[in-house]
Amino acid sequence: MIPMSLAQVAAAAGGELSATADPEAVVTGGVEYDSRKAGPGGLFLAIPGARADGHDFAAKAHAQGALATIATRPIDTPAIYVDDAVAALTRLARHVAAASKATIIGVTGSNGKTSTKDLIGQLCARLGPTVATEGNFNNELGHPYTVCRVEPDTEFLVLELAARGVGHITELCEIAPPSIGAVLNVGISHLDGFGDIETTARAKSELPRFLAADGAAVLNADDHRVAAMAAHTKAEVLTFGVEAPADFAATEVDPRDGRHAFTLRTPGGAAEVRLGLWGGHHVHNALAAAAVLWRLGADAESIAAGLSEATRKSERRMDVFTRDDGTTVIDDSYNANPASMGAAVRALGQLPTEGRRIAVLGLMADLEALEASCHRRLGEQAREAGVDEVIAVGEGTEPIVEGATGGNTHHSPDGADGVTATHVPDQAAAIALLRTRLRPGDAVLVKGSRYRTWDVADHLRAKEETDQ
């Protein structure tokens, strides 16, 4: 964090120092809400939880060197007392962002946010000290936590902006106002919060609407809802795309073995890119990152080099590895929505393999009235991608089988185009089925919303040999 005295922290966070806290002590470390990570010169954020109360670990954090705990009830160690810990962290983050010299970059979209943020973070780090959201820690706690990691020499702050309703992105932007904002796409996701795709689009448009006239809005020309946001921003508009005319385009796209190659075309010239990331959806992610980096002053050659050298940074996202029995696994199990599920089964279809292609697919959550139709369409996409076998896991995934088999009953071992599709009640049953079905040379995709296929992925990882 930017060095501040405890008195300054208390003022910024809207709290009061305890009698045991030294107001002149300077905070030189970060703010941590996990006591195991609390260290010398830092702060500990005590959050009451369902299973544990952070206040019970304040003494441990202090023993490890934390100067004070941001607390909401009396404790025996130095403290900054506040009414609400997360609200206090938010106020502190707003202060840090205002004091920082870093260029702030925001990334949002229905899917691809984390991968694109990781790409931008890696490319920015080639230009100067960079802080980026860890994983998809993009909510009301993760966002200010990330902002507070900024240090005096930080040049770039890359933030993933998530929303489950209208107004959420604006709230995050107000904490750390971005000067560059990228909107990747608008899709069917979190309908429990948004209600419909048009409301989703309105929520995502909050990022370009927030940008100042001297900023830049990076918009997907291939998504008509995103492209329309150009009319609602004061900032310079930079477009990216593969199909529609765009400022940053990919031509001569070659899927190769699933790690795509293409010619990157920018307003300043062209260069060749050979991605190390799996899946065709990363082409759009790379173009968005290219637009951001070009706006920061990088040229086409350096951008292409950075994209070609970029690696996967976040867990359970297109993590491709080979087990010691010769089975190739695509662990994309972190989360799922219709767009990312479709991209994942297409990636499985493109993966070179001597055996069969098997997709283990869990529920896509928060689809409300569209749940059955979206899962049925997923089954159809798996069949169209050339998947040989589909295992649908858990309640609500039965329509995947219907789509994969062309409407045949799930009791039929083979459906349309020779696809085998089976519905199982839970992950334990999926693991048991895989034990009987997997053969050396097969390729397996594991994907579902959040934890719904994590046990399957972890079972397959237990015999992991090498990352690809």
CATH number of the domain encompassing residue 25 = 3.40.1390.10
Q: Which residue's entry shows tokens 């996701």?
A: 189
Q: Would you list the DSSP string of 195-253? A: -SHHHHHHHHTHHHHH--TTSEEEEETTSHHHHGGGGG-SSEEEEEESSS--SEEEEEE
Domain containing residue 247: 100-309
Q: Which positions ≥6 away from 140 have C-beta within 8 Å? A: 86, 90, 171
Same domain, 106 and 249: yes
Beta-sheet pairing, 130-132 with 156-160 = parallel
Same domain, 230 and 353: no
Kindly report whether the global pTM for this prediction surpasses the value 0.85.
yes
Same domain, 227 and 135: yes
Report the Cα–Cα distance between both ends of the chain, in Å, rounded: 36
Same domain, 271 and 127: yes
Residue 301 belongs to a domain: yes
- Write down the pLDDT at residue 344: 95
Residue 303 belongs to a domain: yes
The amino acid sitting at 135 is: G
The DSSP code for 60 is: H
Residue 168 belongs to a domain: yes
Residue 57: C-alpha distances to residues 88, 106, 373 (Å): 19, 33, 47
**Cα angle, residue 380 at apex, residues 377 and 384 outer, rounded to 5°:** 135
How many domains, the chain? 3
Residue 420, domain CATH? 3.90.190.20
Please provide residue 73's backbone torsions phi and psi, each rounded to the nearest 5 degrees.
-145, 160
Same domain, 198 and 254: yes
Residue 151, domain CATH? 3.40.1190.10
- Write down the pLDDT at residue 211: 98
Q: Smallest Cα–Cα separation from 428: which of 391, 457, 456? A: 456
Q: Is 422 left (phi over 0), alpha (psi -120 to 50) or beta?
A: beta
The two tokens of residue 271 are 């260069």
Same domain, 52 and 178: no
Instruction: List, for the chain, all residue ranges whose pLDDT scores fall below the cut of 70.
Output: 190, 192-193, 408-417, 463-468
Beta-sheet pairing, 79-81 with 420-424 = unpaired
Same domain, 172 and 220: yes
pLDDT per position as a tens digit, 24-53: 999 999 999 999 999 999 999 999 888 899
Same domain, 239 and 387: no
Same domain, 139 and 194: yes
Q: Which residue's entry shows tokens 């896991």?
A: 393
- Write down the pLDDT at residue 38: 95
Residue 95 belongs to a domain: no
Cα–Cα distance between 352 and 262 in angstroms, integer? 19
Same domain, 153 and 222: yes
Kindly tell me the sign of the dihedral angle through the C-alpha atoms of 171, 176, 182, 188: negative
Same domain, 265 and 361: no
